[in-house]
Structure 1
Amino acid sequence: MQALWMIAGALAFTLMGAVIKLLAASSFGAFELVFWRGVVGIGLMAAFLRWHRISPASGRFGMHASRSVVGTLAMFCWFYTLGPLSMGTAFTLNYTSPIFIALAVAAAARWRGDRQPSRGRLHFAMAASFAGVLLILRPSIGQGQELAFAIGLLGALLTAAAYLQVRALGRAGEPEWRTAFWFSVVNCLLAALAATAFGGWSPVSLADLPALLAIGVLAAIGQLCMTRAFGRGRTLLAANLQYSGVVFATMAGWILFGESHDLPELAGIALIVASGVGASLAPQTAARPASPSIEPLARSPR
């Protein structure tokens, strides 16, 4: 059952990505799409808080604000890349975040003086991921996609930072739905400011409303499914099954948008997925079992 929850979550996020790509093609900018995702998210997360009788008030405003700002910036990057890049490429770049998480946790362990018996495995995973990025980047050079590619990697880095902040909030006793609620609030605020200052606003017709609503609903479904998957079984199984999202995204890009990938690109995608799985399997310390483990992001910035 755990496998089904994770696969369902990955599928929900893939469908959300497809809707975003469709809307981006009809002149909606990344800032506007993040805004509408936040509007729907506020309503849904408020309903979850009420259902679970959780107050939105928190004494950790600074932690929530920092996590939400970093996560929103990561979302700006990811939503933007879904426009110019193929779905498979955009999703794969976002899934490099576990490598950045692994680096951060390993650096913290080294600073504390903990033993790191898996350092060689981590270095191998990093090298494989870098090789995968180069293979995917190869056809992008000269096609005007270099900026989108760089923004995708920046988004993965920010996603990793946001995930580590989510872990800190969880360890501080903050309910996940409260964290998601304030994340949606900051989505709205920052996206509204950014759209007004830089991108402008596109007219919204009645025909656009179902798609805009679907972004927030699919994000909530994906988040709920993946939360259940991580909470009801083996963490590593759930962490590795989430990479099914890359397969779903590549297939969706091919079926819905006629996107294709050559053999080196597919090899690059496979390398990044394999390196992320390897990073998730690598224990980071032997001296302090209570240290943060590497659990690939359960799509928290989305």
Structure 2
Amino acid sequence: MLSNQARVALTTALAPAVWGSTYLVTTELLPPGRPLLAAVIRALPAGLLLIGITRRLPQGQWWWRAAVLGALNIGAFFALLFIAAYRLPGGVAATIGAVQPLLAAGLAAGLLRERLSPRTAAAGLAGVAGVSLLVLRADARLDGLGVAAALAGAVVMATGVVLSKRWTSPAPLLATTGWQLTAGGLMLLPVALFVEGPPPASLTTENVLGYGYLALIGSAVAYALWFRGIRALTPTKVTFLGLLSPVVATLLGWIALGQELTAPQIAGGLVVIASLVVAQTTPKSPKAPKVPPARRTADAPAHPSTPVQRS
């Protein structure tokens, strides 16, 4: 039987697994050249839907907290992801993003007083190495602005996860998820209009299906599972699960698009999975050996607290 924490980890892992399908949905179902529009539709309609279902608005300090978390987890993260995707090969961006668990572990140590163990650090480095084997290509080019955007995206997402753990909302999970998605979507909306212009005048059936999948499954469901995991698990364990996204994206590219799957990629995927398992498990501390009670010698006193009378 799985423990409760293991069940939560498995359900939380569904979120990055779903996000790993974003590339396939974007390339096969959505209109080309509109990534910011896709980001807005992923966030804003899903957030408004969850707020409508729960009928809960933020109260007091949660107005600005929801705005900050929405900017970190959704708005700023999506925008930086967009810049990195346009200026870097996907493998470079994914490899840089794989440092997120290490960043989250460091932030959790500073803000939440969680211990950063050598085991966690080693698992984090192994995760970065595994992702690089999985997606990085030898001819990958580097761009200074793209690298900075990818690294900043990892920083803001790690910060958002840690702050989401520190600021636990008293409201229901779906309401809190809706607040963040709405705040992030409202932040992205003017940026998308300025950069990409108004939405297309007409959409095909494939476009509608793709946007609907991103909004309902990729955001409303996936982020609810993600934020539920943040409430129940440590930020470090949650961010390690995010490494599943490039694994799922690679597998879907191989299955659905006929992309090549090489031996180094398979090895990289196995390394990523191993780092996830290590990060989710806690080593058992060795039990102290039992010390047998000392035998009382013939000349030892029956009560040690009573001094021995010597003649």
- Give the TM-score, by structure 2 length: 0.67
| Cα 1:14/1:127, change in 2 over 3 Å | closer
| Cα 1:82/1:21, change in 2 over 3 Å | farther
Larger displacement relative to structure 2 (32-41 or 193-202) = 193-202
Kindly, what percent of the aligned residue pairs are identical?
21
- 1:155 equivalent in structure 2: 153
RMSD between aligned residues: 4.1
- 2:32 equivalent in structure 1: 26
- 1:65 equivalent in structure 2: 67
Instruction: Please point out which of 47, 52, 57 is paired with 1:47.
Output: 52
- 1:106 equivalent in structure 2: 109
Matches within 5 A, 1:195-234: 195-207=192-204, 208-218=207-217, 219-225=219-225
| Cα 1:92/1:40, change in 2 over 3 Å | farther
Q: Deviations 1:140-190 (Å, cap 9, x if unpaired)?
A: 5445688656644432322111111211231x5343323222222223322
1:25 is displaced (CA, Å) by 6.5
Aligned residue for 1:59, secondary structure, equals coil
1:276 is displaced (CA, Å) by 4.5
Query: Structure 1 counterpart of 2:211, which letter?
Result: L
Task: Tell me if structure 2 keeps the 8 A contact 1:97–1:160.
Answer: yes
Aligned residue for 2:20, secondary structure, equals helix
Aligned residue for 1:278, secondary structure, equals helix
- 1:253 equivalent in structure 2: 253
Matched, 1:165 2:167: no
Task: Tell me if structure 2 keeps the 8 A contact 1:21–1:82.
Answer: no
Task: Tell me if structure 2 keeps the 8 A contact 1:95–1:276.
Answer: no
1:59 is displaced (CA, Å) by 1.1
How far apart, CA to CA, are the structure 2 residues paired with 1:200 and 1:215?
20
Structure 1 gap segments, 5+ residues each: 284-302
| Cα 1:266/1:277, change in 2 over 3 Å | same
| Cα 1:99/1:229, change in 2 over 3 Å | closer
How far apart, CA to CA, are the structure 2 residues paired with 1:163 and 1:197?
29
How far apart, CA to CA, are the structure 2 residues paired with 1:189 and 1:140?
39
- 1:290 equivalent in structure 2: none
Task: Tell me if structure 2 keeps the 8 A contact 1:9–1:222.
Answer: yes
Task: Tell me if structure 1 keeps the 8 A contact 2:104–2:239.
Answer: no
| Cα 1:238/1:157, change in 2 over 3 Å | closer
1:191 is displaced (CA, Å) by 1.4
1:102 is displaced (CA, Å) by 1.0
Task: Tell me if structure 2 keeps the 8 A contact 1:70–1:161.
Answer: yes
1:192 is displaced (CA, Å) by 1.7
Matches within 5 A, 1:66-105: 66-71=68-73, 72-78=75-81, 94=97, 96-105=99-108
How far apart, CA to CA, are the structure 1 residues paired with 2:39 and 2:245?
20
Task: Tell me if structure 1 keeps the 8 A contact 2:135–2:246.
Answer: no
- 1:288 equivalent in structure 2: none
How far apart, CA to CA, are the structure 2 residues paired with 1:193 and 1:67?
19
Larger displacement relative to structure 2 (199-208 or 233-242) = 233-242
How far apart, CA to CA, are the structure 2 residues paired with 1:21 and 1:187?
23
How far apart, CA to CA, are the structure 1 residues paired with 2:21 and 2:221?
11
Task: Tell me if structure 1 keeps the 8 A contact 2:80–2:149.
Answer: yes
1:36 is displaced (CA, Å) by 1.2
| Cα 1:45/1:16, change in 2 over 3 Å | farther
How far apart, CA to CA, are the structure 2 residues paired with 1:148 and 1:257?
26
Q: Deviations 1:85-104 (Å, cap 9, x if unpaired)?
A: 55x88667655422221121
| Cα 1:198/1:206, change in 2 over 3 Å | closer
Aligned residue for 1:98, secondary structure, equals helix
**Greater Cα radius of gyration, structure 1 or 2:** 2
Aligned residue for 2:21, secondary structure, equals helix
